[in-house]
Structure 1
Amino acid sequence: MTTSRRGRGLLAVSAVSAAAIALAMTAGGADAAQNSGAEGKKPAQAEKQAAGKERKGNFDARTPNAKTTYARAAQVEGKETAAAKKFSESLGAQGVVSVDPNTGTPAQVTKLNGFLTGKSGKKATDIALGYVKAHPEVFKLSDADLGTLQLRKDYVDDLGTHHIFWTQVVDGVEVFGNGLKANVTKNGQLISVMGSPVSGLTTAAQTRSAAAAPKVTAAGARSAAIQDVGGTAKTATAKTAGADTTWSNGDTAKPVWFHTADGLRKGWMTYTNSGGKNIYSHVVDAQTGATLYRKDLVSEGNGDALVQDYYPGAPVGGTQRVENLIYNKWLPKNAKTLLDGTSVAAWADVNDDNQPNAGETVKVPGTKTGAEYKLTTFQNASSFCSASFICTWDPAKPDSWKVNMNQDVTNAFYLASNFHDWLAKPPISFTPAAGSFDAAGGDPVHLNALDGAATGADGGPDANHIDNANMSTPPDGTSPTMQMYLWHSPGATDAQDPWVPSSGANDASILYHEYTHGLSNRLVVDATGNSTLNSIQAGSMGEAWSDFYAMDYLVSHGLEKDTTKPGEVLEGRYVAHGDLFRTQAIDCRVHAVSPNCIQPDGSKGGYTYADFPTIGGSPEVHASGEVWAQTLWDLRERFGRAYAMSIITRAMELSPADPTMLDMRNAIVQADLVQSGGKNADTIWTVFANRGMGWYAGVVDGGDAYPAEDFHKPPTGATTTLSGTVKDKDTGAPVAGALVYIGGHSSGYAGDYAAATDAQGNYSITGVAPGTYPKVVVSAPGYELIVQSVKVTPGVKAAFTPRRNWAASSGGGTIAGFNGPDFSSSGCGPTGAIDNAQGTGWGSTTGDDNGTATNTMIAKHIDIKLPAKVNISDFNVDPSNTCGDPGSSSTGQYKIETSADGTTWATAAQGTFDATNRGKYNLVAPTGNATGVQYVRFWMLSPQVPDFQNNCPNGAFGGCKFTDMTEIQVFGTK
């Protein structure tokens, strides 16, 4: 019996999944980012038994992750007309034209040093659409295509800039994710156009509709989505309005078009909350029920009330004071029994069912004689408890959290309501029009304080509800859920769990961090309003913004000290009892000397871009994001709070989808262009260059965890042409149809700073500023992706010699056989191992085909038939987890066998991969049986679950159920 990929369960270790945990610690344990209860105070190094279960991550069948299939981009680049090239060149050296490899239309058109159009008194929408119509050579939209556009939103920020969104609609059904976005200044200058609109949509939709009617109902799509993440559908009544369905528990389903490089599909877009942190958005194929898209919406962390502004015991803001919740208009005048306010609804969700049950709600505080609720201290609960860090419960007495339940919920309500109002004020201006959380708009924050506090066997929290916090953020109009946990695991010593016994609801830095995930996920969106913070670069900025906005508030209000001395401003100061919570303080300048500004290798000073993969021991969003948070703090110090917060926030609204840190650097430069006319551009470039994010810095794309840093500002003067050849390393034959692009400027898309080779293997990229570019990328069907540094000077020619990858399906490799289940319908089948793209892979089960958790591996293999007999020189393997499975699902032990006829097999290589091998290719030399090979068999012999025998099947690791690998390449000569 086999099972579809959508039947795979939720196993994701909260503490491991970057998407799941907004506030996972990057200092505070040998595996703090994975295990909040480990000993010591060092950055994360390796996976250990985690605090909670691993969870399914993001998946997108359009570009399965940030590492898109470059062959598509090469094809798109090869089809670009002379007129399109002329348009790109007309924008100058700092122009940006990025073309989506799926649609062939622009993902982004903009300039960093000027506007696309001059001043105009026309309507902003007319300016943007007029520009699109005037340039069909670039946007490729016919009149019929333009007729599918429907204005979804046009809001004006506090600088007067219009942020405009059009969706594409055919036969009343909206296209998911694609459309148009435009940004127009108050003076009518067009800043940018984005969105990857679908051309030829009307014809494609009509053809698709005629070919197949939906077989999956709305209810079926809801069930499929919940099953995909291992949840259980809650019993709820359904209400249908037109084609849309809403369930009484808040789940929704609506029909959408979903466009991939393989064509248009009809699907169901769902929002499901199946309890706990199981909150996701999906697109489910309406014909097959397969998952086309999965977005983890959780980012992991009379009215007189007694509240504190920072944390219990803080020098400033650490003593309870009286705040009237009704006077501040956070609660209606007639509120009595529930903390259900104008922007926040709070309760103690101690059983973690996301519902305010009896005994979990808190009466509105305040009596005739005074304010409520006074905090009771538990100063014998831990050696960390002191007058400066007051403990609010005793983990040795789990029910002790009940003593401060009313106080806990009320304080959380106050902090979230207060931060809502703060973010709404200039210069941040996170208003209802921009997507803020408001009861009037139908999406107040559902704040679950003491979340899961009674889920353990002894009445305290279980392993999934301790030492963390999170915030899920659906699109505008649907309420987010914030979950605040208790800290310090019951039964753990202070050495094992180095956190103050407390609650996230009593730490403003934690709660404000979580709330800011709502800000970034509502501002960095696609044309249809879905968050695009998906890749490791974008996710790292998500965590960094959350730290930055939280600490900005605390410093602005004098609650956190910030002088000219570095190393003072600490996220999580309370729960870490004054020690480091992140690996460094947020105000560590480059080369700063401070005990809180020491890098993992012992060197002094804040981080630069090349530190991205090593800050926490390995690439991870919370640790890797520290370089971005420190850079933003540099901007704050350089420009002052008001201007820095303005351009940083406005840049989110100008951002392309799934941005890299270099993309966001560009957006901040553009935000200054809007506000000051570009007067501060040189200073902004100086700040970023100082952090290694200069003009020549390079990334392959948003999924690149190993960026190349550079310390130069944009060059001035004439541009030149980078040209040369791409030839087969072994044969010297020209390679046609290869994509050549300059990473950090094209980010894997066709467009500017990119070209495709002709039949003779020649390429030419015009309009390139001279200098050394560390990541020039070459990708061709049937060849390895190579990245090398190129110094561009007038007349320079750069030759590239990639090796033939004989296993690649694009070069003739095929899957001749495999065992285990087939998850091809969800984009996770065996062919994913040979598609030459690290964004996809082969996912299988650890034990039986049903994915039953086990501590005994049933070895899985794929057989690859090469297009010819080959003398193999090397294998190249990326053993990483795929399809949203967690890190422990990566291949551990492996074996590679070879055969001349597909019948007789012999071992060619074997070994063991660990966490350090993830996210990259690992060269494996054959130890024998490498000549005359036409078949290669790759065996997955174990997942990367630590202590697999003991941690499975009842442990928290996803590798107990699923084992994956991303890619295998085969090099050699025919």
Structure 2
Amino acid sequence: MKVSGKGRGLLAVTAVGATTVLAVTAGGGATAATSANPDPKASGENVKSVESKERKGNYDARTPSARTDYARAAKAVGKETAASEKFRNSLGSQGVVSVDPNTGTPEQVTKLNGFLTAASSKKATEIALAYVKAHPEVFKLSESDLGTLKLRKDYVDDLGTHHISWVQEVDGIEVFSNGLKANVTKKGELISLLGAPIAGLVAKAEARAAAPALSADAARSAAATDVDGKAAEAKATKSGAVTKYSNGDTVKPVWFNTADGLRKGWLTYVQASGGSKIYSHVIDAQTGGLLYRRDLRSEGSGDALVIDNYPGAAKGGTQRTENLIYNKWLKKGAKTLLEGNSVQAFADVNDDNVPNAGETVKAPGTPTGSEYKFVPFQANALCTASTLCSWDPATPDSWKTNMNQDVTNGFYLASNFHDWLAKPPISFTPAAGSFDTAGGDPVQLNALDGAATGEDGGPDANHVNNANMNTPPDGTPPVMQMYLFGAAGDDTTVATSSSNAADILYHEYTHGLSNRLVVDATGNSTLNSIQAGSMGEAWSDFYALDYLVSHGLEKDTTAPGEVLEGKYVTGGGSIRTQANDCRVKAVSPNCVGIDGSVGGYTYGDFPTIGGTPEVHASGEVWAQTLWDLRERFGRTYALSIITRAMELSTADPTMLDMRNAIVQADLVASGGKNAKIIWQVFANRGMGWFAGVLDGGDSHPIEDFHIPPTGATTTITGTVTDKDTGAPVPGALVFIGGHASGYAGDYSAVTGANGKYTITGVLPGTYGKFVVSGAGYEVLGNALAVKAGGTTANFAPRRNWAAASGGGSVVDFTGPDFSPQCGPGYAIDSSQGTGWGSTTGDNRGTPTNVMIPKNIDIKLPAAVNISKLSIDPSNTCGDPGSASTGKYRIETSVDGTTWATALEGEFTAANRGKYNEVTPTANTTGVQYVRFVMLSPQVPDFATNCPNGGFGGCQFTDMTELQVYGTK
């Protein structure tokens, strides 16, 4: 199996999971170089060093990234009956019905301007199930299927809304992720149904009745190996079907539904490599292959002396006494370990996630006074009276001076924030999934994480200038790792600990909130894609800064540019490119983008905020939009609908999906009286009704500034034909991006045998993304103006001769075969969600600074005169951005034996995540074979930074898709 990739942290993640090395600028915005964007010139970034390790990213065999296979979606839409179309139309112009391409059942059914049912005095569970039974034309669940539903959770939020989840279970084994979720108001009105339950589950399970070929122990080892780690030596015990290990790891059997059918798998929670790599996997129980991988890290007796903001802050910057026992955070009699009702804290200086001797802190407080006093250091010019430093990176072991203070302050902040989040209007309670010792999942706070991992008594490059929080499902303790900031000779970063920075610690803690609220029916977080991950970072900034502002610890007047994340560690600047309170067109030095643009961000800025799409930077548009809501409605109501919207959200949401959820939350809270204002706030940020996005993996959305139009709907009709031959293209999927959570949703259709299609119930206006995709054809996606009297829109896509769906095939390749996750065939499957992953050097993936070229040979279904090629060179299979193809060569052949060069070139970070059209310069006539050669990964200064520079591209080189255009 392959190894590589990087997860989310406070400062350090990309959509593909790369590590960031922070280079903060005193008094200004932070700059960061990521392996997903390793070229400083490409983004205007100031790179100090690039040494920290990349981590392996997320992977899902059902939709390996959020970019679903259009062909599967077309099949789902094509199966819609007259009855299901009638149901869809009955919901009105703001109804949402989106169908999961793998199951053919709805992943979301709801309305934005009303409820699905009238008020009822019946039980919430009965209301939801009755609706499912009443509409078999949509949900497709038989009595047998309904019998597989097992109630997992029914909790009531502070608005009285029931949030209900059913898992599906056969033979005592749960289905992973798929199930049924329902949201019902306190009046008994059905808000929405979600989850994509599996129809015909019992029969599908019977066909997979064979006993697992892989043991639980072997699955645990395979999961650790997959992330280039090693499973800890631990004693295993059985508890029912679950295997539990003495170090906290777990393995249990699950069903896993793929496009190719139901699989039997092992769901693992593994803390590999001393706890530095904490992941959840599903390993195929028969083949040992990878079905799912999720990095759980989000990057990013009483009397104690504590700091409410940060050392030296004008407000909350001076130590004061807080009794940890009086507040019930710490048990009476606690002595050698800060182990409380929601947090367990220690100094994990060797980063093994275990409180070893010398790493624990005794409970503070003596008969004569409070403990532990903060001792300031003068490490660099940023160590001032208003930004006190807690250590000196140039002095070995200097972090030990404030170790007791550091751990205690982290314990206080995390305990305090736990209680704050539990109060209305947020109401993050045990029922909602909060972190509590009584529930078996207190936060494991590792202060000073890795502080002694370097050779000089300080932290190594992997344990500085960052912080993170991994969040497993409810009932399993999360781990929060708080690092030191600063480095010897660095005058741009305050030398301190993140446990002394409330905004950073609260940011990390909020990852736990969002990852526990935006979940599937089985309770697993679905914040996986770049859109969802960007919102995860934005929520973390928003809730942290809201706390500081609402407690008077940070200033927020009517002037823009005051609310800064990372103000302490940057010496008065920010780790973001703009302040959180930058309104659109706001004028302030802190409201200027890295490209010089003035004013807060809009949706169209998503891919460019940080130079390239990246969750921390791209998330700034969402954080600023949430602050707009806070200003318009006040913090209490804004926090209420923002939090409740997470609970109403569909899986892996786009920003438009979450906009819809906020509209629905207001519908529940106020009857929808604020809907127009909410729509206007989002429209002002480019997230209006006609905004376009394909799905959560779309890093290039199209913005729009309109609220929903009123009046009659209309129809779009047209024909899809081959651009070169004029022949009709049957079975092509046609849809408007942004008007459901998936392709097989509203505003979609499939062409008939004559190439014609019809989409009904469309509100007039100009939609940002109108998408056409046919088997064996290129994907078209452009704006479309829909007129009130009906619109005819004809399309003529080019034949993609390399597409497997059109007859193309892989006939040869060099390097290893990493099927089924990312074998050579995925280079021509017409899906950017999958790709071909190979190695940089030898077939074992040994890190090297010498590329051994890898090629893939594709046979076209006919001899073609090639005019253009289109290539997505992106990383795949969970590898980090640096594994994307850099230098490449295209060769062609008429017979598959004699080859000649048609084109050579080089891709950069700017070419990732999209098709890049290139023109061959020679040997284009009568071609039936095309060879793509990967000549280098996108590792900056490849010869120098490999093999020990920490880049995944030193091990693996990938590409996502190759398309060939021309005439037969």
User: TM-score scaled by structure 2?
Assistant: 0.97
Give the SS at the match of 1:596.
Answer: helix
- 2:75: which partner in 1? 75
Measure the CA separation in 2 of the matches of 1:816 and 1:145.
Answer: 42
Contact 1:741 1:748 in 2 (8 A): no
C-alpha displacement of 1:337: 1.4
Unaligned runs of 5+ in 1: none
* Residue of structure 1 equivalent to 2:376: 377
**2:865 & 2:339 partners in 1: Cα distance?**
70
> Which residue matches 1:751?
745
1:896 lines up with 2:894 in the alignment: no
1:86 aligned residue = 86
Q: 1:136 to 1:270 in 2, by over 3 A?
A: same
1:599 aligns with 2:593: yes
In 1: Cα distance, 2:904 partner to 2:780 partner = 25
2:718, 2:353 → 1: CA distance?
59
CA drift of 1:17 comes to 4.2
User: Which of 519, 527, 550 is 2:521 aligned to?
Assistant: 527
Question: Hey, what's the Cα distance between the residues in 2 that align with 1:120 and 1:493?
Answer: 64
2:681 and 2:138 map into 1 onto residues whose CA distance is 33
**Residue 653 (structure 1) aligns with:** 647
Counterpart in the other structure of 1:493: 490
Q: Structure 1 residue 43: deviation in Å? A: 6.4
Q: Which residue does the alignment assign to 2:799?
A: 804
Aligned 1:751-900 pairs, distance under 5 A: 751-793=745-787, 794-825=789-820, 827-900=821-894
- Offset, 1:223: 0.2
Q: In structure 1, what is the Cα distance between the partners aligned to 2:181 and 2:6?
A: 36
Summarize deviations over 1:844-892 as a string: whole Å, max 9, x none.
0001111000011111000001111111110100000001100000000
Give the drift of 1:364: 0.3
Deviation of 1:802 after TM superposition, in Å, equals 1.0
Give SS of 1:634's match. helix
State the shift of 1:63 in Å.
0.6
C-alpha displacement at 1:398, in angstroms? 3.0
The residue correspondences of 1:470-869 to structure 2 (distance < 5 A) are 470-489=468-487, 491-494=488-491, 498-793=492-787, 794-825=789-820, 827-869=821-863
Kindly provide the amino acid, as one letter, of the partner of residue 226 in structure 1: A
State the distance in 1 between where 2:529 and 2:51 align.
24
Between the aligned partners of 1:521 and 1:735, the Cα distance in structure 2 is 42
User: Does the C-alpha gap of structure 1 residues 718 and 70 become closer, same or farther in structure 2, counting only changes over 3 Å?
Assistant: same
State how far apart, in whole Å, the 2-side matches of 1:75 and 1:728 are: 20
Alignment of 1:109-188 (within 5 A): 109-188=109-188
What is the root-mean-square deviation in Å for CA atoms of aligned residues? 1.9
Tell me which residue corresponds to 1:103: 103
The residue aligned with 1:957 is 951
Which secondary structure does the structure 1 equivalent of 2:34 belong to? Answer: coil
Secondary structure in structure 1 of the residue aligned to 2:815: coil
1:492 positional shift: 3.6
Amino acid at match of 2:708: P
Q: Aligned partners of 1:37, 1:576: CA distance in 2, in Å?
A: 22
The amino acid of 1:493's aligned partner reads: D
User: Is 1:456 matched with 2:454?
Assistant: yes
**Offset of 1:18 from its aligned partner?**
4.5
Over the matched positions of the two proteins, sequence identity in percent amounts to 73
Q: Deviations over 1:350-376 (max 9, x none)?
A: 000000001000000000110000000
- Measured in 2, the distance between the counterparts of 1:912 and 1:49 equals 24
Aligned: 1:973 with 2:953: no
* 1:937-952 correspondence to structure 2 within 5 Å: 937-952=931-946
Structure 1 residues 122, 22: closer, same or farther in 2, change over 3 A?
A: farther
Q: CA deviation at 1:267?
A: 0.2
Partner amino acid, structure 1, of 2:381: S
Measure how far apart 1:301 and its partner are. Answer: 2.7
Once residues 792 and 863 of structure 1 are traced to their aligned partners in structure 2, the CA distance between those partners, rounded to angstroms, is 43
User: 2: CA distance between counterparts of 1:955 and 1:399?
Assistant: 25
Residues 16 and 120 (structure 1), Cα distance of their counterparts in 2 relative to 1, 3 Å cut: closer
After the TM superposition, which residues 212-611 of structure 1 pair with which residues of structure 2 at under 5 Å, given as runs?
A: 212-274=210-272, 275-379=274-378, 381-489=379-487, 491-494=488-491, 498-611=492-605
Pair 1:177–1:642, CA change in 2 (3 A): same
Distance (whole Å) between structure 1 residues aligned to residue 746 and residue 923 of structure 2 = 45
| Whole-angstrom CA distance in 1 between matches of 2:903 and 2:435 | 55
Q: Distance in 2 between matches of 1:36 and 1:832?
A: 21
Q: Report the alpha carbon displacement of residue 723 of structure 1 after superposing the two structures with TM.
A: 1.1
1:333 CA drift (Å) = 1.3
Distance in 2, matches of 1:492 and 1:74, equals 58
Distance in 1, matches of 2:8 and 2:48, equals 11
2:253 aligned partner, one-letter code: P
**Distance in 1 between the 2:910 and 2:959 partners?**
14
Q: CA deviation at 1:459?
A: 1.2
Give 4+ residue runs of structure 1 displaced > 2 Å after superposition.
8-31, 33-51, 746-749
Between 10-19 and 763-772, report the one with greater CA deviation.
10-19
Partner letter of residue 151 of structure 1? L
Give CA deviations for 1:779-826 in whole Å, capped at 9, x if unaligned: 11111111011111122100111111111111111110101110013x
Deviations 1:558-602 (A, max 9, x none): 001000011000011000100132100000000111110112232
**1:59-103 superposed Cα distances (whole Å, 9 cap, x missing partner):** 000011100001000011111101000100000010000000000
Equivalent pairs counted in the alignment come to 961
> Post-superposition shift, 1:39?
14
- Given residue 771 of structure 1, which amino acid in structure 2 is its aligned partner? G
* 8 Å contact kept, 1:348–1:449: yes
Q: Distance in 2 between matches of 1:687 and 1:24?
A: 34
**CA offset digits 1:651-708 (Å, max 9, x no partner):** 0000000000000000000000000000000000010000010000001111111111
Any idea what SS the aligned residue of 2:584 has? coil
Normalised TM-score (structure 1)? 0.97
Contact 2:6 2:57 in 1 (8 A): no
The alignment partner of 2:207 has SS state of: helix
Report if the CA contact (8 A) 2:373-2:405 is conserved.
yes
User: Which structure 2 segments of 5+ residues have no match?
Assistant: none
Equivalent residues of 1:76, 1:104 under 8 A apart: yes
Any idea what SS the aligned residue of 1:401 has? helix
Amino acid aligned to 1:744:
G
Q: How far did 1:241 drift?
A: 1.6
Residues 747, 762 of structure 2: 8 Å contact kept: yes
Q: State the Cα deviation string for residues 393-445 of structure 1 (Å, max 9, x = none).
A: 00001310000000000000000000000000000000000000000000000
What's the CA shift string for 1:889-924, capped at 9, x where partnerless?
000010010011110000011111111111111111
Letter paired with 2:802: A
Q: Provide the rounded CA distance (Å) in 2 between the counterparts of 1:38 and 1:178.
A: 37
Measured in 2, the distance between the counterparts of 1:296 and 1:159 equals 33
